[in-house]
Structure 1
Amino acid sequence: MLARENTVIGFIGTGVMGKSMAGHLLRAGYPLCVYNRTKEKTEDLLQQGAEWADSAKEIAEKCNVIFTIVGYPKDVEEVYLGEQGIITNGKPNTYVIDMTTSTPTLAVKIHSEAKKKNIFAVDAPVSGGDIGAKEAQLSIMVGGDEEVFAELKPLFQHLGTNIVYQGKAGAGQHTKMCNQITIASNMIGVCEAIVYAEKAGLDPEKVLESITSGAAGSWSLSNLAPRMIEGNFEPGFYIKHFIKDMNIALQEAESMGMETPGLSLAKNMYVRLAENGEENSGTHALYKYWKK
Structure 2
Amino acid sequence: MKINDTTIGIIGTGVMGKSMVTNLQKAGYQINLYTRTKSKAQPLINNGATWKNSVSELTESADVIITMVGYPSDVEEVYFGNEGILENAKPSTYVIDMTTSKPSLAEEIYKQALTKRIHAIDAPVSGGDIGAKNGTLAIMAGGDEEAFNTVLPIFQILGENIVLQGKAGAGQHTKLCNQITIASNMIGVCEAIIYAKNAGLDPERVLESITTGAAGSWSLTNLAPRMIRGDYDPGFYVKHFIKDMTIALESAQEMGLSTPGLTLSLKLYKDLAETGEDDSGTQALIKLFEK
TM-score, length-normalised on structure 2?
0.99
- Paired with 2:104 and 2:166, the residues of 1 have a C-alpha distance of 14
Deviation readout 1:91-148 (Å, 9 max, x if unpaired): 1010000000000000000000111110000000000000000000000000000110
Alignment correspondent of 1:44:
43
Alignment correspondent of 1:283:
282
- Paired with 2:217 and 2:265, the residues of 1 have a C-alpha distance of 17
Aligned ranges 1:140-179 → 2 under 5 Å: 140-179=139-178
- Paired with 1:200 and 1:82, the residues of 2 have a C-alpha distance of 58
Q: Number of residue pairs matched?
A: 291
How far apart are residue 253 of structure 1 and its match? 0.5
Residue 132 (str. 1) matches residue 131 (str. 2): yes
Q: Which amino acid aligns with 1:117?
A: K
3-state DSSP class of the match of 1:249?
helix
User: Identity percentage over the alignment?
Assistant: 64
Q: Which amino acid aligns with 1:272?
A: D
- Paired with 1:199 and 1:253, the residues of 2 have a C-alpha distance of 36
- Paired with 1:30 and 1:215, the residues of 2 have a C-alpha distance of 41
Residue 235 (str. 1) matches residue 252 (str. 2): no
Alignment correspondent of 1:108:
107
- Paired with 1:290 and 1:63, the residues of 2 have a C-alpha distance of 47
Of stretches 125-134 and 41-50 in structure 1, the one that deviates more from structure 2 is 41-50
TM-score, length-normalised on structure 1?
0.98
3-state DSSP class of the match of 2:86?
coil
- Paired with 1:22 and 1:82, the residues of 2 have a C-alpha distance of 26
Alignment correspondent of 1:264:
263
How far apart are residue 88 of structure 1 and its match? 1.5
User: Gaps spanning 5+ residues in structure 2: where?
Assistant: none
Q: Which amino acid aligns with 1:82?
A: G
- Alpha carbons 2:139, 2:163 under 8 Å: kept: yes
Alignment correspondent of 1:198:
197
- Paired with 2:76 and 2:249, the residues of 1 have a C-alpha distance of 20
How far apart are residue 47 of structure 1 and its match? 1.0
3-state DSSP class of the match of 2:85?
coil
Q: CA RMSD in A?
A: 0.8
Q: Which runs of 4+ in 1 moved over 6 A?
A: none
Deviation readout 1:18-46 (Å, 9 max, x if unpaired): 00001111111111101111111111111
User: Gaps spanning 5+ residues in structure 1: where?
Assistant: none
3-state DSSP class of the match of 1:158?
helix
